[in-house]
Structure 1
Amino acid sequence: MVKLPEYEVLNFCFDNDNGCSLTVLANDERFHVTVDPKQLQDRSKEGKVIQRRYRRLLKRAKAADQDGEEQEETTQSGNEDDSDQDSEKQDSAVDVSSPETEQKPEDEDGSSKHTNALHRRILTPLSEHILSKPSGSKPTVQDWYYSPIHYYNLSTSSGKLQVQENQSPPKSLTERMNEILIPTISLPKKTLNLSIPQFSASDLTVLSCASDPAPYHPILVSHNDNNETYFLKPVDPTQPGPTIREIDIMNTIAKKDLHSRDDFRCPQLKGLVYFSSSSSDSSTIEHKHIAAILLSPIADPTPLTRLLDPSTPEHKRKQWAKDAERMVEVLHENGIVWGDAKGDNFMVDKDDKVWIIDFGGSYTEGWVDEKIKETEEGDWQGTGKVLTALEDPVGGTMSEEEEKKLDEEKEEDEIEEDEELEEEEQTPMKSSPRKRSRDSAAEGEDADEAAPPAKQQKRSRQSAGTKDTRDVKYCFCESTSSGRMLACDGKDCKREWFHFECLDIEEAPEEKEWFCEECR
Structure 2
Amino acid sequence: MSHTVIDSHIELDSSWVTVMCRATRFHITVSHRDIRRSRFVTEYSEMVAKAMDDDDEEDHDVLCEWIVDPCLPYFRESTLNVPKEITFEDFYYPPTHHLKLLVSGSSLCPKATRDRGTMNAFRLMIPSGDLPPFSEVPRSKASDLRIISDTKWDDYKSEIPQKAIISDGTSRFFKPADDKKQLLREVDMHLRIRHAGLQDKIKVANLHSIVVSDDAKMTIGLLFDLIPSTGDSLYSHKNSASAAEHHARWKQQVTATVKQLHSHDLVWGDVHPGNIVIDTSLNAWVVDFGGGFIVEFVPRKKAGTKDGDWQGVGKIFDEWMFEKHAFLVPKERGCPL
With structure 1 as the length reference, what TM-score do the two structures score?
0.56
Asked if 2 retains the 8 angstrom alpha-carbon contact of 1:208 and 1:218, the reply is no
Structure with bigger gyration radius: 1
Q: Residues 323-348 of structure 1: CA distance to partner in whole angstroms, max 9, x if unpaired?
A: 11111112112332212222221111
Residue 320 in structure 1 maps to residue 310 in structure 2: no
Query: How far apart, CA to CA, are the structure 2 residues paired with 1:216 and 1:372?
Result: 34
Identity of aligned residues (%): 23
- Which of 193, 210, 219 is the matching residue for 1:290? 219
Residues 367-378 of structure 1 correspond to what in structure 2 (within 5 A)? 367-378=297-308
Aligned to 1:338: 268
Amino acid at match of 2:24: E
| In 2, Cα distance between equivalents of 1:221 and 1:307 | 26
Equivalent position of 2:121 in the other structure: 178
- Secondary structure of the corresponding residue to residue 76 of structure 2: coil
The separation in 1 between residues aligned to 2:50 and 2:254, in whole angstroms, is: 42
Match of 1:197 among 132, 138, 156: 138
**1:165, distance to aligned residue in structure 2 (A):** 0.5
Matches within 5 A, 1:406-485: none
Contact 2:239 2:321 in 1 (8 A): no
Instruction: Determine if contact 2:238/2:321 at 8 Å carries over to the other structure.
Output: no
Alignment of 1:17-56 (within 5 A): 17-42=12-37, 47-48=38-39, 50-56=40-46
Q: Which residue of 2 aligns with 1:303?
A: 233
Q: What's the CA shift for 1:185?
A: 4.6
In 1, Cα distance between equivalents of 2:148 and 2:130: 27
State the alpha-carbon separation in 2 of the partners of residues 354 and 130 from structure 1: 42
Across the aligned residues of Structure 1 and Structure 2, the Cα RMSD in angstroms comes to 2.8
Matched, 1:9 2:5: yes
Going from structure 1 to structure 2, the CA distance change for 1:152 and 1:288 (only over 3 Å counts) comes to closer
Between the aligned partners of 1:181 and 1:243, the Cα distance in structure 2 is 12
2:244 aligned partner, one-letter code: E
Maintained 8 Å contact 2:186/2:290: yes
The answer (yes or no) to whether the contact 2:146–2:165 under 8 Å persists in 1 is: yes
CA distance in 2, matches of 1:341, 1:184: 29
Q: Which whole-Å CA distance do the structure 1 matches of 2:297 and 2:244 have between them?
A: 23
1:161 lines up with 2:161 in the alignment: no
2:89 aligned with 1:142, yes or no? yes
Work out the CA distance in 2 between the residues paired with 1:275 and 1:394.
46
- Once the two structures are superposed, residues 292-314 of structure 1 have per-residue CA deviations (whole angstroms, 9 ceiling, x without a partner) of 11101223231212322255541
Match of 2:160 among 209, 217, 234: 217
Q: Indicate if the aligned counterparts of 1:301 and 1:350 stay in contact, CA closer than 8 A.
A: no
1:331/1:338 CA distance change after superposition, 3 Å: same
Q: List runs of 5+ in structure 2 lacking aligned partners.
A: 151-157, 328-337
> 1:384, CA displacement in angstroms?
1.2
Amino acid aligned to 2:210 = L
Shift of residue 163 of structure 1? 1.7
Name the residue aligned to 1:270: 208
**1:207–1:267 distance in 2 versus 1, CA, 3 Å:** same
Is it true that 1:366 corresponds to 2:308 in the alignment?
Answer: no
- Structure 2 contact 13–33 (Cα < 8 Å) conserved: no
Please say if 1:58 is aligned against 2:54.
Answer: no
Change (3 A) 1:18 1:384: farther
2:44, 2:20 → 1: CA distance? 22
Cα distance, 1:60 vs structure 2: 3.9
> How far apart, in 2, do the equivalents of 1:40 and 1:391 lie?
52
Q: How many residues align?
A: 319
Whether the 8 Å contact between 2:206 and 2:225 is mirrored in structure 1 is yes
Distance verdict in 2 for CA 1:260–1:179, change over 3 Å = closer
Contact 2:139–2:209, Cα closer than 8 Å, also in 1: yes
**Superposition pairs for residues 90-169 of structure 1, below 5 Å?**
111=58, 114-131=59-76, 135-166=82-113, 168-169=114-115
For residue 207 of structure 1, the aligned residue among 148, 157, 166 is: 148
Q: Distance in 2 between matches of 1:353 and 1:228?
A: 22
Letter in 1 for 2:219: I
Preserved contact between residue 192 and residue 288 of structure 1 (Cα < 8 Å): no
Q: 1:386 to 1:8 in 2, by over 3 A?
A: same
Alignment deviations for residues 436-459 of structure 1 (CA, whole Å, 9 cap, x no partner): xxxxxxxxxxxxxxxxxxxxxxxx
